[in-house]
Amino acid sequence: MAPLFAIAREGAEIAILPLARRRDYLTDLGNFYAFWFRPILSADGGALLPALARDLRRRHARIQLASLPTEDGTAALVADAFRASGWLVCAGDDLPNHILEVGGRSYAEYLAGRPGKLRSTIKRKAGKLTIELIDRFAEEVWNTYEDIYANSWKPAEFQPEFLRNFGRREGAAGRLRMGIARADGVPVAAQLWTVESGTAYIHKLSHTGESAALSPGTVLSAALFERVIDHDRVSRIDFGTGDDGYKPDWMESIRQRVGFDLIDPRRPRNWAAIAKHSVRRARRRLALTRPAG
């Protein structure tokens, strides 16, 4: 990855857009594991984004940004700044972000509001598993986590060493929350969470394929929810992006993470991409106006 930090300053105000160079375009300086992407702004730094966008347009033809939050105005701020600076702002990926606002509840109060099937599963299966919760990084624990992940239904880890280093850093900072579930002493499920600034982030979940009948992921999730709600006293739990069917059982709200394909329409090499976006928009409009049935 080749970073490019686009920076605008005026007096005490500053706006930083952390980007990365690809072959013939720029992207956000994010990674596979990121929960969101935001520009870094001082109190009134957002006013500098149009000037930053104009300067980028002189130097680059296309920028792709992903996972911008909508709830705090970030996505709208970035789109408006680039649109005002002559960029064509095309829609990229739009991903749901499931969250739970704890609202001062205890774990018992939270659990009482979960679907009956989930509560029944936790009650029936909990006695068949031993749960270990860890808040400091240890190589042997991480090795166990990786073994479980490798024997789960999930594809190979995208950047395992990056994730291990993340675990080391979060553990040293006191933010790491991991869980291991065992059946008859055999590790069958593992989860990676972190806690920071009043929010618990759920990063990775996995269980071995042969242990599915024990619902180890459900039981382990319940233990970690109890830990972060009653012990860490978090105000929010963030389940990241994705619309997995089990997330609504645990979460109560959905926010959006949006992406933008920012294109300089003056560049002939961009015209094919502009045409593709135009076709996509036309298809979306047609789908919205087509009568049901």
CATH, range 104-234? 3.40.630.30
- Give residue-wise pLDDT tens across range 185-210: 999 999 999 999 999 999 999 999 99
Q: What is the pLDDT of residue 277?
A: 87
Q: In which residue ranges of the chain is CATH 3.40.630.30 found?
A: 104-234
Q: What is the pLDDT of residue 292?
A: 58
Q: Which amino acid is at 41?
A: L
CA–CA distances in Å: residue 270 to residues 62, 87, 135, 142, 281: 8, 11, 48, 45, 17
Kindly give the interhelix angle for 216-226 and 116-125, rounded to the nearest 10 degrees: 100
- Give residue-wise pLDDT tens across range 209-264: 999 999 999 999 999 999 999 999 999 999 999 888 899 999 999 999 999 999 99
**Range 2-96+256-289 has CATH code 3.40.630:** yes
Point out the residues of the chain with pLDDT beneath 50.
Answer: none
For residue 137, give both structure tokens: 């990084």
- Yes or no: say if 31 and 159 are a contact pair by the CB < 8 Å rule: yes
Q: What is the pLDDT of residue 285?
A: 73
Q: What is the pLDDT of residue 42?
A: 98
Q: Which amino acid is at 95?
A: L
pTM: 0.90
